[in-house]
Amino acid sequence: MKKAVKIENLNHQYADGTVSLENISLEIKEGERIAILGENGAGKTTLFLHLNGSIKSSEDNVYIFGKNVKTMPISERIHKVGVFFQDPDDQLFMPTIYDDVAFGPSNMGLSQSEIKKRVKEALATVGLSGFEDRVPHHLSYGQKKRAALATVLAMKPKILVLDEPTANLDPKNRANIISLINELNRDLGITTIVAMHDVNAVSELADRVFVLNKTIVAGGSPHEVFSDNNMLKENNLEAPEVYKLFRILECYGCKCRCPPLAMTDVPDVIDSLFDETGGKVQLCKDEKTSDKVASLLSRFNYHF
**Whether residue 108 is found in the same domain as residue 217:** yes
Has residue 217 been placed in a domain? yes
Has residue 304 been placed in a domain? no
Judged on CB neighbours under 10 Å (0-12, 13-18, 19+), 3 is middle
**Whether residue 217 is found in the same domain as residue 269:** no
In angstroms, rounded to a whole number, what is the distance separating the alpha carbons of residues 193 and 191?
A: 7
Asked if 5 and 52 touch (Cβ cutoff 8 Å), the reply is no
Q: What is the pLDDT of residue 304?
A: 39
Bridge partners, 13 (sequence order)? 19
**Whether residue 36 is found in the same domain as residue 167:** yes
- CATH number, domain of 43, equals 3.40.50.300
**Whether residue 217 is found in the same domain as residue 245:** no
String of DSSP letters for 40-86: TTSSHHHHHHHHTTSS--SSS-EEETTEEGGGS-HHHHHHHEEEE-S
- Domain final residue, candidates 182, 208, 234: 234
Q: What is the pLDDT of residue 301?
A: 65
Q: What is the pLDDT of residue 255?
A: 86
**What is the span of the domain harbouring residue 93?**
3-234
- Domain final residue, candidates 183, 213, 234: 234
**Whether residue 189 is found in the same domain as residue 268:** no
Has residue 65 been placed in a domain? yes
**Whether residue 110 is found in the same domain as residue 213:** yes
Q: What is the pLDDT of residue 303?
A: 45
**Whether residue 127 is found in the same domain as residue 200:** yes
Cut 0.85: pTM above it? yes
The total domain count for the chain is 2
**Whether residue 119 is found in the same domain as residue 178:** yes
- Domain final residue, candidates 177, 203, 234: 234
Q: Per-residue confidence of the chain (304 residues) as pLDDT tens digits?
A: 799 999 999 999 988 888 999 999 999 999 999 999 998 889 999 999 999 899 988 899 999 999 999 999 888 888 899 999 999 999 999 999 999 999 999 988 899 999 999 999 999 999 999 999 999 999 999 999 999 999 999 999 999 999 999 999 999 999 999 999 999 999 999 999 999 889 999 999 999 999 999 999 999 999 999 999 889 989 989 999 999 999 999 999 988 888 999 999 999 999 998 888 888 888 999 999 999 998 888 877 654 3
**Whether residue 89 is found in the same domain as residue 119:** yes
**Whether residue 147 is found in the same domain as residue 264:** no
**Whether residue 182 is found in the same domain as residue 280:** no
**Whether residue 169 is found in the same domain as residue 113:** yes
